[in-house]
Amino acid sequence: MSAVAEVTPQTYRSAEAHAFQAAGADFLYLVPSGAIFRMEGLSKEIVDLLRATELSRDEIIDCFKGRGYLPGDIEGTLDDLEQAEALASNHVKPVKPALPIQNFPLQRVVLNVTNQCNLACTYCYEYSDDKITKPDGKPKYMTRDVAEAAIEMLILESSSRKGIHVTFFGGETLLNFPVMRSTVEFAISKAAEVGKEIEFSLTTNATLLNDEIVGFLSEKRIGVTVSIDGDRELNDKMRVFHDGRGSYEVIAPKIKKLLKTHRSNSIGARVTLTSQVSDVRRIYQHLTTELGFDSVGFSPATASPDRLYHIGTQKMDNILDSFAALAWEYRDHAVEGRQHGFTNVSDTLKELHSGVSKAYPCGAGLGLLGVSTAGDISLCHRFVDSPVGKMGHVKDGGVNHDARREFLSTHHIGARYDCHTCWARPVCSGGCYHEAFIHYGDTAAANLHYCDWIRGWNDLCLQIYGEISVRNPSFLDRFSD
C-alpha cells in the first residue's frame, strides 16, 4: 500500500465488507483482503460506528472513552482492526489485484486425448448445438508424439514450480487409453529427470473401465472423476449412448468395482444438473449410499437459455435451496469432526479459508492450459479446437506468450467493471469464461445472469465457515495446505 500525501488529517471508515452471522456471533467478510473477521464487543461497536461516519483516530478514542472504554483497549482494538484490514483509511489507496507476473508458471495441462465419444449426452458442450469446438479435419485421437510434446511444454513452462499435474480428458478419454498409459510413463520419467513431483487425474464416463485400466489407475495413483447424474432414471435422461440407450446399467457395476479396487487416490462423482435432473438430495443419496462414492460435486449445465435442458431462474433457486439443505448437513458432520462428501462446500470453504482474492475466476490461461488432439494449445479443455482462446501449439513454438498475456490483461477483474462493487468478487471474479461465451458471446463478460446465485451460495458457505470456526475450529485445519 502506498501512502497518499498527508495534506488532510487521517480518518478511518469501515472497509468494504459483507456482514453475516453464525453461531450467534457477528462476522465480516472483508472484501479487499478476502479475510473473515469475527467481531465482538468493542471491535463490533467501532466497525458499526465507522459504517456511518469517517473519524480520525483521536476522535474514535474520544468517542469510546465517553462510552467507558479504556484508551489502551481502544488503541489495541483499532490496531487489530487496521491489521485485519477491517478499516479503510483516506491515507491508504485501495490495492487493486495485481496483473500476474509475466509468463506465470504453468501448473497443469489438460490433454484432450480424443474428440470422439461413445456416448451422446444431450447437454454435452462438445457436440450439442452450443458447441464452440470445430474438430473437423483434426485428428480424432492424440498421438504419443503430441502428448509427449505437451508434457515437455508443461515441464518447460512450469519453470521453478515443483509440483505439476496432468489431467486426461476427452471426448471419452478412455477411448485413447493406450496414449494415456504411455504418456503417464513418459511424464513420470521426464519429471524425475528434472526433480519435479507429478500427479495425474482422469475424467471419464466410466463405460470403458475394465480390470486392466483400473489396475493401471490404481498403480499410478491416478485421481478419477466419474461423470454420472444419479440413479438409473435420472442418469439416463441425458447420459445416453448414440442409440438412445441409457448408460447407467453399463457403468454402475464398473464404478462399484473401481471404488473397491482403486484405493490409492481420490475418486469423485461429477454430476451435471439440468432442468430435468435437479433433485440434488436424491442424487447425492444414491451416489454415496448405493454406489459408494465418498465425494460428489454438482455443476449446472452450461447452456444457452433456449435449450430445453437449460436451468431457468426459478429452478436455479430451488437448486440453491437443495444445496443449502445438503450444506447444513455438511456443517453438522463438520461440527462432529466427520467428513461429508458434498465437495461444492469443501471447495468453497477451502477458498474462503485461504482468503483468496481472485484476479481471475479460475486457472484457465494462467496455471492451466488445454491441449487438443492436434496439439493446439488453448485457454482450457472447454476451448480446445475452438477459434477462441488459442494460445500456440505444442510442437510449433509452444505457448504463445503474447496471446496468453493479451488474454490475461483483458480478462483481469480490473477490466470487469460490472463486478467492481460486488462483495463476492474475491471468490467469483466474474465467473466461467465458457459460460460467458455461451451466454454473451464474449469470454470477458461477467456472468451477470447468476450473480444472485453466486452471492447466495457464498453467503451460505460463509455462515457454515463461521459456525465451524466457532464450534469445531480444528476441522478447518484440513484446508490449510
Q: In the complex, which residues of this chain contact ligand SF4 (CB under 6 A)?
A: 117, 119-121, 124, 126-127, 170-172, 205, 227, 418-419, 422, 424-425, 428-431, 446-448, 451, 454-455
Q: Which is nearer to ligand SF4, 46 or 174 (CB)?
A: 174
End-to-end CA distance of the chain: 27
Least Å distance, CB 299 to ligand SAM, is 5
Q: Which is nearer to ligand SF4, 119 or 214 (CB)?
A: 119
Report 151-190 residues binding ligand SAM (CB under 6 A).
Answer: 169-170, 172-173
Q: Which residue is nearest to ligand SAM (CB)?
A: 227
Q: Which is nearer to ligand SAM, 12 or 383 (CB)?
A: 383
Stretch that binds ligand SAM, among 119-127, 155-163, 443-451, 464-472 (CB under 6 A): 119-127
Least Å distance, CB 476 to ligand SF4, is 24
Least Å distance, CB 400 to ligand SF4, is 27
Q: Which residue has the cell 489431467?
A: 167
Query: Does residue number 456 form part of the binding site for ligand SAM (CB under 6 A)?
Result: no
Among residues 14, 43, 114, 204, the one that binds ligand SAM under rule CB under 6 A: 204
Q: Which is nearer to ligand SAM, 167 or 463 (CB)?
A: 167
Q: Which is nearer to ligand SF4, 158 or 176 (CB)?
A: 176
Q: At what angle do helices 41-52 and 57-65 cross, to 10 degrees?
A: 120
Question: In the 8-state DSSP scheme, what is residue 18?
Answer: E
For the chain, how many helices (H) and strands (E)?
15, 15
**Distance in angstroms (rounded) separating the CA atoms of residues 390 and 167:** 19
**Distance in angstroms (rounded) separating the CA atoms of residues 41 and 221:** 50
Which cell numbers in the block locate residue 79?
Answer: 490496531
Query: Does residue number 247 form part of the binding site for ligand SAM (CB under 6 A)?
Result: no
Least Å distance, CB 270 to ligand SAM, is 4
Least Å distance, CB 177 to ligand SF4, is 15
Q: How many residues does the chain have?
A: 481
Cβ atoms of residues 466 and 38 within 8 Å:
yes
Among residues 270, 331, 404, 411, the one that binds ligand SAM under rule CB under 6 A: 270
**Distance in angstroms (rounded) separating the CA atoms of residues 28 and 51:** 12
Rounded to a whole number of angstroms, the CA Rg of the chain reads 25
Phi-psi label, residue 429: left if phi above 0, alpha if psi -120 to 50, beta otherwise: left
User: Nearest-5° angle of CA 445, CA 447, CA 450?
Assistant: 170
454 binds, among ligand SF4, ligand SAM, none (CB under 5 to 8 A by kind): ligand SF4
Query: Does residue number 365 form part of the binding site for ligand SAM (CB under 6 A)?
Result: no
Report 122-141 residues binding ligand SAM (CB under 6 A).
Answer: 123-126
Q: Which is nearer to ligand SAM, 88 or 117 (CB)?
A: 117
Cβ atoms of residues 348 and 461 within 8 Å:
yes
**Distance in angstroms (rounded) separating the CA atoms of residues 155 and 163:** 10
Which cell numbers in the block locate residue 240?
Answer: 445416453
Least Å distance, CB 349 to ligand SAM, is 22
Q: Which is nearer to ligand SAM, 69 or 241 (CB)?
A: 241
**Distance in angstroms (rounded) separating the CA atoms of residues 170 and 322:** 30
Cβ atoms of residues 271 and 287 within 8 Å:
yes
> Which residues make up the interface to ligand SAM (CB under 6 A)?
117, 123-126, 169-170, 172-173, 203-205, 227, 270, 272, 299, 301-303
